[in-house]
Amino acid sequence: MSNDGVVAVERALSVLDCFRPGAEHLALADFAARLPLHKTTIFRLLNSLARCGYVVREADGRYGLGPRVLYLARVYERGFDLSAVVMPVLEALSEETGESAAYYVEGGEPGQRLCLFRHQPHEGLHSQVLAGSVMPPDQSSTGRVFSIWTQGSPRGEDRLPFFSCGARDPYTSSWAVPIIGNDDRFVGALTIAGPSVRLKNRDAPRMQAIILARADELARRLGASSEMRDMLYGKVG
């Protein structure tokens, strides 16, 4: 079977994608400014979406999201399995780099981080942080992600991903990058870690490219906008 999509469906979805925080109510001219479509085409798409409950036309002529979108969001929330989203990315990242890969979220105290999911290769010497471990604030690459992104500190000119060597213990090095999700909000950190004697001698540009590509994939799966992903991780592919 062909993998070609249906143009009309893709166009209708592109209309819905115009809504975002700060742009919850849009006039026809607003859609036309955001889309490479003629106003007549946009108007017809909006009428179809309105009939199906995905948009509503307000008294002032502008459009907003309809109740059907909320219904689908509730269905999505009930069926959402974070591990099913994160673990395939960690497995791929670990396979590509040969190192341990982990996903961290905020811990109970400021600056703390919880290792929520982790994957490591079956052979060789690897970082031994276990899923469920709570780590204190530190200057490791992952610690820097949380100190900057959760506390609103100046982000400086450091490019992503962050790298650290011997920050948490003398023998471990790591790369880490922040992960964003719905509403482009910070949700966690993606990290690869391993023995310093090995990681310091790896091809740094290749390692950076791999973790940025996987971070972009994970952020996309978690609902981040393409604009924010491009800004943080660069255009992938």
**pLDDT single digits (tens) 98-141:** 899 999 988 767 778 888 889 987 655 555 677 778 888 888 99
The CATH number that domain 7-71 falls under is 1.10.10.10
Query: 63 falls in which pLDDT band (50, 70, 90)?
Result: very high
Sign (positive or negative) of CA dihedral 34, 37, 38, 42: negative
Q: What is the pLDDT of residue 4?
A: 63
Give the number of C-alpha atoms closer than 13 A to the C-alpha of residue 228, restricted to the C-beta side.
19
Residue percentage of the chain with pLDDT more than 70 = 89
Helices 204-221 and 226-233: angle between axes, nearest 10 degrees = 160
7-71 and 80-234 have identical folds: no
Contacts of 194 (CB under 8 A, 6+ apart): 98, 99, 100, 125, 126, 127, 172, 173, 174
Domain residue spans of the chain: 7-71, 80-234
Distances (CA, A) of 60 to 26, 27, 31, 64, 175: 10, 9, 16, 11, 51
pTM > 0.75: yes or no? no
Question: What is the model's pLDDT at position 107?
Answer: 79
pLDDT of residue 216: 96
180-222 pLDDT per residue, tens: 998 888 999 999 998 887 877 778 889 899 999 999 999 999 9
pLDDT for residue 235: 74
CATH code 3.40.50.150 for 80-234: no
**Predicted local distance difference test score (pLDDT) of residue 215:** 96
Instruction: Express each pLDDT in 131-178 by its tens digit.
Output: 778 888 888 999 999 988 886 555 556 689 999 988 877 888 899 999
- In terms of Cα–Cα distance, which of 36, 41, 69 is closest to 54? 69
Long-range contacts of 152-160 (CB under 8 A, 24+ apart): 160/212, 160/232, 160/233
Looking at residue 72, what is its pLDDT? 83
